[in-house]
Structure 1
Amino acid sequence: MFANQVKSILVSSSSCLPSLWTVNRRGMATLKMISMRLKSVKNIQKITQSMKMVSAAKYTRAERELKLALAFGDGSQAFYEQAEVTPPENAKNELIIAISSDRGLCGAVHTSVGRLIRSKLQNKSDNVKVVCVGDKARALLQRLFGQNILYVAKEIGRSPPTFEDAARVATAISDSGFEYDSGTIVYNKFKSVVSYTTSQIPIYSVSSVNSAPKITLYDSVDPDVLQNYIEFSLASQLYYAMKENACSEQSSRMTAMDNASKNAAEMIEKLSLAFNRTRQAVITRELIEIISGASAL
């Protein structure tokens, strides 16, 4: 009989206070959603912290290897500067080599290269061909300038770039049959851990080198020697640009993952506060309902 009285009291109180039960159910659902979200953000923070540590180790190696690759870029550029090589004034065909990689989560490293090339192609895109070193550059240019893409080198960025990789790209350009009068290599030049600049390296054709004012300063420059040197110089400049870009990419990824970890920490703090407040509200509502039912007895 006592049980029936308690049951009747609870039924009457629940019928009088339907909003409390609705809020309770909503509070429990919100509590579960916050808990799931909190767990997800904590897992993301673990991933970003691990990626930051991996990028820091790769950045140290990339910076050390970049110092050894400076001679390849400086040596090739010194020859063209001393010979005063310039592109022809009536250049028709132009080649642009975009240096990127297949991997993302590294800030605006790839976007800056794609933005610079898009600005070039918007002004003159008829006789311009683009070689994409890395799939990210292809993804940025495929939609608007897919007809200008000459060659795409994939599997770039999973391991440190080597001279063999640069030689393969140079060979593919030579075997493509596209005869360019002038060209540029667009890449990211490393400055510091938190800074890089999108730069360009000019590349020249055999005819441009032959017509240079001071090419006679060098002895025994026959067509075969000059052709071989142009091919080797292109591979050397590509290797140097790939090393510069790889170092910029790793430093930018390390910074991006550090910022992501900090943002995740702030989000965890806010979600924990919301979780505790929601749990306290749910407990308070339950106590109110229990006290209300006990006082009605």
Structure 2
Amino acid sequence: MASLKALKIRIGSVKSTQKITKAMKMVAAAKLRRAQDAAQAGRPYAERLAGVVSSLASKVTVSESSPKLLAGTGKDQVHLLVVATSERGLAGAFNTNIVRAARRKAEALTAQGKTVKFYLAGKKGRVLRRFYPATAILHDADQSAIKNPGFADARTLADDIIRRFEAGEFDVAHLFYGKFVSALVQEPTEQQIIPVASLAAPATATSGAADAAVEYEPDEEAILADLLPRNVAIQLFRAMQENQASFFGAQMNAMDNATRNAGDMIKRLSIQYNRTRQAAITTELVEIISGAEAL
């Protein structure tokens, strides 16, 4: 049985931890609203742009002059998995779910005889190094200095990924991130960003764009040269915003659960402390009474 001193020290330690987790929950809750607004505000533009370029991809006639970002390289042997995670932990299973989704995709592609490489955007994605050789990690983007992701940050990553694509380092790129649904729900999401995935069939908001004739001004090459790289950057920017909101939601939940668990532990330890103290007092009284009777 633990001594009274040991129990008292442990109760104090748990109370200190509870104060920290409660403070972290409040900070995450305060940051969540702004991150949630940013993620939701960016969705319509990102989704509409993805619909436009997907519509173009369904109409493109593959030739030597076709933009590779739109038509692809003509093969799909090497796949790049862009895994966007957070830089920090203490957010429950948020990062684990994204990494797990990427690993499942990698296993499915490997089973088909494809070559898989990884582009890590976020420190918590480095856990993939445990499962894959160093040659499979194409790049590890350090984002520790990014507090509030901006479009310039996403454009930097997009330019690097596009440069590697044009250099022939991979044929297809898939993006993995956590889509913000609510403070309680963050959904691991996969999206093909290179080449643009064409629309299989007209659907909802993009149905009109899929059937419409496309006219270019001033010319097709100039439009696509700006539109296609911008689409990759926008999709990465959206992933960073969604991850930001999802991270704070997951962290708020995790810290709330940790605070509750700490409270439960304090109650159990307090009961154990009181019982141990009462037992010690009872033992002393018995000894005193026994000594008095002996006299």
Normalising to structure 1: TM-score of the pair?
0.81
Aligned mate of 2:88, from 96, 100, 103: 103
CA offsets 1:213-235 (integer angstroms, 9 cap, x no match): 98971415544542332221111
Measured in 1, the distance between the counterparts of 2:9 and 2:196 equals: 63
Residue identity in the other structure for 1:145: Y
Report the equivalent of 2:20. Answer: 47
292 and 206 in structure 1: CA distance in 2 versus 1, 3 angstrom threshold = closer
Is the helix fraction higher in 1 or 2?
A: 1
Say whether residues 1:226 and 2:224 are aligned partners.
Answer: yes
Cα distance change of structure 1 residues 166 and 266 upon mapping to structure 2, 3 Å threshold: same
- For 2:88, what is the secondary structure of its paired residue? coil
Contact 2:95 2:125 in 1 (8 A): yes
What is the CA–CA distance in structure 2 between the aligned matches of 1:108 and 1:87, rounded to whole Å?
A: 36
What is the alpha-carbon distance in structure 1 between the residues aligned to residue 57 and residue 195 of structure 2?
14
Instruction: Confirm or deny: 8 A CA contact 2:57 2:71 kept in the other structure.
Output: no
Whether the 8 Å CA contact 1:129–1:149 is kept in 2: the answer is yes
Partner SS, residue 192 of structure 1: coil
Structure 2 residue 113 is the aligned partner of structure 1 residue 123? no
Alignment-derived partner of residue 174 in structure 1: 162
Counterpart of 2:132 in 1: which secondary structure? Answer: helix
- Quick one: distance in 2 between partners of 1:245 and 1:92? 29
Aligned pair in 2 of structure 1 residues 217, 62: CA closer, same or farther (>3 Å)? same
CA contact (8 A) 2:81 2:119 kept: yes
In structure 1, the gaps of 5 or more residues are 1-26
SS in 1 for 2:238: helix
CA distance in 1, matches of 2:212, 2:160: 27
Contact kept in structure 2, 1:103 and 1:158, CA below 8 Å: no
Per the alignment, residue 214 of structure 2 pairs with 217
Q: Which residue number corresponds to residue 266 of structure 2? A: 268
Letter in 2 for 1:149: I
**Secondary structure of 2:82's aligned partner:** strand
Is 1:61 matched with 2:48?
Answer: no
User: Offset at 1:76?
Assistant: 2.2
Deviations 1:84-134 (A, max 9, x none): 448768422222111101100111111111111111222334532211110
Indicate yes or no: 2:134 matched with 1:144. Answer: no
Matches within 5 A, 1:193-204: 193-204=183-194
Change beyond 3 A, Cα 1:215–1:152: farther
Identity %: 36
- Quote the Cα distance in structure 1 between the aligned partners of 2:42 and 2:147: 16
Q: Which digits, 9 at most, give the CA deviation of each residue in 1:198-222, with x for residues without a partner? A: 112221338989xxx9897141554
Residue by residue, what CA displacement relative to the aligned partner does 1:255-284 show, whole Å, maximum 9, x if unpaired?
111111111111111110110010010111
Q: Distance in 1 between matches of 2:137 and 2:45?
A: 27
| Residues 223-232 or 277-286, more deviating | 223-232
Tell me which amino acid in the other structure corresponds to 2:181: K
Question: How many residues align structurally?
Answer: 266
Does structure 2 retain, via aligned residues, the 8 Å contact 1:102–1:157? no
Contact 2:7 2:273 in 1 (8 A): yes
Q: Which has the larger radius of gyration?
A: 1
Q: TM-score by structure 2 length? A: 0.81
Distance 2:8 2:215 in 1: 73
Range moving further from structure 2, 200-209 or 103-112: 200-209
User: Residue 54 of structure 2 contacts residue 196 of structure 2 at CA under 8 Å; is this kept in 1?
Assistant: no
